[in-house]
Structure 1
Amino acid sequence: MVSYIIRRTIMAIPLLFGITILSFAIIQAAPGDPTSLMMDPSMKPSDKEAFRERYGLDEPIHIQYITWLGNMAQGDFGDSIIKRGTPVSELIMNRLPNTLLLMLVSTILAILIAIPFGIYSAMRPYTKLDYTVTVTSFLGVATPNFWLGLMLIMFLSVTLGWFPTGGVATLNADFSLWDRIHHLILPAFVLAVADMAALTRYTRSSMMDVLKQDYIRTAMSKGFKEKKVVLKHGLRNGMIPIITIFGLMLPSFIGGAAITERVFAWPGIGLLFIESAFQRDYPVIMALTVISAVFVVIGNLLADILYAVFDPRIEY
């Protein structure tokens, strides 16, 4: 297992390298100049050139990329262009805990709700509850995160006043655990809805296939309780496709969090990415792109490891 993890990690290096090249090329091809947002229009041409030279933007594209890649290999993502003098790593570390908290709560919420409903729906197919779960799942997949977030803010926050409209905590208030939870509920729920719906559908489909197998019918015929047969024998085999979806969920939360964080003004790296993209803050965009790519690699590696945990027949 250890040697497998090492091999997969080494294989991910060329993938990450290719992602950085494509991302850097796309950003460079975008119209506009980020330094124009920072410089006074009345500045002399010589001062403008000195300003561009300070950030290395006067170098050819390939030199800029090599310089950035070398610095990144040493853990230095550079300084933000827009927020002058502020290290990119500092900006990310200030925001990362908020996004990780949002992702963690959303993932746990999606798993705790989706998998039990999917299992029960597979055990009682074509019943009223099954149809209700199916329709709700389709609605969850089809509903855009930003629209759902805006509707919840309008109804639960503005109209009823049950939840705050955004932010991670109440401004100018002392730290309170309940206050943090109160601000977390809506964005975590919105972020979990789409994955919750997809997980429910995949769990139902996978478990229905497993429950039709001969070994399940044999266990049932021996007089074992249905709940024990499903959870002890059926669930482990039925989890294999679900693990694949879970591995893909991890990196997708970064993209989904960007929209959700924007709607709820949640100060995470998703919101930071959107702000940097509008302002064309190259160092921040590239750093967040690499972090997202790392999440993709970790998600796939974690899924492969969980295969062996749930299915002893899988060996590496």
Structure 2
Amino acid sequence: MKIAVFFVGALHDTGFNANALVGADAARDLPGAEVEIVSGTPFEPEAMTEALDAAAARSDAVIFIGGQGNKVTPVVAARYPDRAFAVVQGEVTGPNIASYDVLQEHSAFLAGCLAAETTKTGVVGHLSGHRVTPGLKGRAAYAAGIAHVDPSVQLVTGFCGTQDDSAVTEHWATAIAGQGADILFTMLNAARAGATRACRAAGIRQIGNVGDWTAVDPETYIGSAVARIDLGVLQAATDLTSGTRPLVVRHLGLSDHAVRLCMAPDVQPGIAAKLSDVAAEVSSGKLIVPTEYRGPEFTPTEQH
């Protein structure tokens, strides 16, 4: 089976796409799988549709990486009823479409708990790029985690419109720090570097996502909301090659070891123990993580 794994934006982005690529490479070892990597498509509906159509025309199946695929994939899948499609971080299903969702909102909720437990100013931040469903869910979960620990903590949150432009994220992160935030949760890809520069310059801590950034820079990163997107990609490829077509969205969460919160060594043991208990409640379903946010949003006065 020829499987095209379809990426939007930079492939080696030290974030979401890079992690998904690990899963795509692992899929090459599946019996009968021939994997093609399709990357570099810009985050524009017409460009994504055109590139996805071309990938489907020369493949037996396509795995779309990212929530952007929720709108684009059904359009193309309808043109190719004899092909199989999967969306990782998706929420769409159909006769020839399956979706796989790594519940990064669960680790984002724990990130919110960590931010509320460790802030000294009582103000924390959040910065993401594109307004896709996984990012919106992650922001909502982070806000809920903050409120779960301390509703009095203020959240300064915004979507800057890019996952990969570090000049933009540096500007936004600096502006969020200027609002008094001493911890910033970033859901970014290549543009994380700009936010990290801003955090270092402002002397504030950051919480990363997807990978374990506390292992890379524990002085800057107080935590990281890990989300193993690669496991979602590998599960999608496994199902495609075996002929399995899930009729509902397949979720991978804490109990699947697909998400977790990593913390820097300087996080107090008492806080780590408390958050471990919260994680157990989320994993068991006793604590339901909200995925909608209706609070205020922040935009820098001067756009970069």
TM over 0.5: no
Report which of the two has the higher share of helix: 1
Shorter-chain TM-score range: under 0.3
The structure in which a higher percent of residues are strand is 2
TM-score (normalised: structure 2): 0.25
Higher relative contact order (CA 8 A, sep 6+): 1
Taking structure 1 as the reference length, what is the TM-score of the superposition? Answer: 0.25
Q: Which has the larger radius of gyration?
A: 1
